[in-house]
Amino acid sequence: MTDLPFNLDQLRILKAIVAEGSFKRAAESLYISQPAVSLQVQNLEKQLNIPLFDRGGKTAKLTEAGDLLLQNGNRILAMCEETCRALEDLQNLQGGSLIVGASQTTGTYLMPRLIGLFRQRYPQVVVQLQVHSTRRIAWSVANGQIDLAVIGGEIPVELRQTLHITSYAEDEFALILPKSHPFSKMKNIKKEDLYRLRFIALDSHSTIRKVIDKILNEHGIDSSRFTIEMELNSIEAIKNAVQSGLGVAFVSVSAIAKELELGIIHWAKIENVTIKRMLSIIVNPNRYRSKAAERFRDEILTLFVSNNNMQTDIKTLVTDADIK
């Protein structure tokens, strides 16, 4: 058998250089010296008999050969990590590691609670949570970088045949008002009342805002007529702005459990209008999943989703969840 012209350490170094943008920062991230990084790259290029970096610029830029090696090298490293995790499972079915992902709101307000409940039963399992956009999380699951994820946005069309998607729970959006607002004294408000309010909203490109606008439109409400007082990129900032009396906002119920309990904001119900979206659990059935990942998925599915009823409300998940 012919010896391979590269080793795993060299692939890790190549990956780090590209990720960090320079040999120096790659060395720092790997806790080795810069000369050691340079020597490994020189040896790799010598063994392959082809340059991997274009050394004419100020940043570390791959040649076509370098890019090809990086793409395949990432796959090799991912397979090595999967193999190590599989062997770890064989040694200890109760241990191992778990990488879960979530979209922004779900990752901020729901997943920490689920992870905490899971670790009460399995404290020896190391759990890592990654929170990004639904699109980025979906690709990470597809590529095997994340074991499973709970997301609320639309999965990219090109991944829908690759991923296994399970409906999980309904996430309701509440119209929240300052306690001092005149409408806070009303049991329900009418659709027409919405056009008299001043809104605090997420950026117009936000997935959540698009979902809300779509559902409102389906109920005959034209959100383009709303008075947008300000746009913020943080749910926490929006809640604080509402509490300060700067406007009203649509926010996931999962994000306001504490505020509702303390009575510092008012949830205004709109007559004949309910704004909900379905959260989903996504996994890649063609990738290895650790025993810990399988157990986590089974636990949360068994707890919150019955075989015949997918209408579990996220309020239950946030306030009453208890893994048994």
Q: Considering the entire predicted model, what is its pTM? A: 0.64
Same domain, 102 and 150: yes
Q: Is 95 left (phi over 0), alpha (psi -120 to 50) or beta?
A: beta
Residue 204 and residue 221 in one domain = yes
Residue type, 193: D
Domain end (from 88, 115, 138): 88
Question: For residue 225, how many C-alpha atoms fall within 13 Å in the half-sphere facing its CB?
Answer: 11
Report whether 103 contacts 298 (CB < 8 A): no
Interval 207-228 mean pLDDT? 93
Task: Give me the pLDDT at residue 91, please.
Answer: 56
Indicate whether 234 and 295 sit together in one domain: no
The percentage of residues in the chain with a pLDDT greater than 90, rounded to a whole number, is 49
Residue spans of alpha helices (H) in the chain? 8-20, 23-30, 34-48, 64-91, 104-105, 111-121, 134-142, 207-218, 235-243, 257-262, 291-304, 314-319
Which of 98-102, 200-204, 291-295 is the least confident region?
291-295
Predicted local confidence at residue 257, as pLDDT:
87
Same domain? For 140 and 239 the reply is no
When comparing pLDDT for 204 and 275, which is higher? 275
Do residues 233 and 202 lie in contact, with contact meaning Cβ atoms separated by under 8 Å?
yes
User: Contact 41/53 with Cβ under 8 angstroms?
Assistant: yes
The CATH number that applies at residue 43 is 1.10.10.10
- Determine, yes or no, domain membership for 1: no
Residue 287 lies in a domain: yes
Are residues 165 and 297 located together in one domain of the fold? Answer: yes
Please tell me whether residues 288 and 151 are part of one structural domain.
Answer: yes
Per-residue pLDDT at 148 exceeds 90? yes
> pLDDT, tens digit, for every residue of 10-61?
999 999 998 888 899 999 999 999 999 999 999 999 999 999 988 776 777 8
**Which CATH number fits the domain that encloses residue 157?**
3.40.190.10
Q: In angstroms, rounded to a whole number, what is the distance separating the alpha carbons of residues 117 and 42?
A: 49
Both 293 and 163 in a single domain?
yes
User: At CA 28, angle to CA 51 and CA 26, rounded to 5?
Assistant: 25
Are 314 and 215 part of one and the same domain? no
Residue 282's domain comprises: 90-169+278-319
Total number of domains in the chain = 3
- Model confidence pLDDT, tens digit, residues 50-107: 999 887 767 778 999 989 999 999 889 888 887 777 676 655 545 678 899 998 889 9
In the predicted model, what is the mean pLDDT of the chain? 86
Query: Is 43 in the same domain as 185?
Result: no
**Would you state the pLDDT for residue 321?**
43
What's the rounded mean pLDDT across residues 188-216? 92
Q: How far apart are CA 274 and CA 45, in angstroms?
A: 61
Residue 35 burial by Cβ neighbours in a 10 Å radius (0-12, 13-18, 19+)? exposed
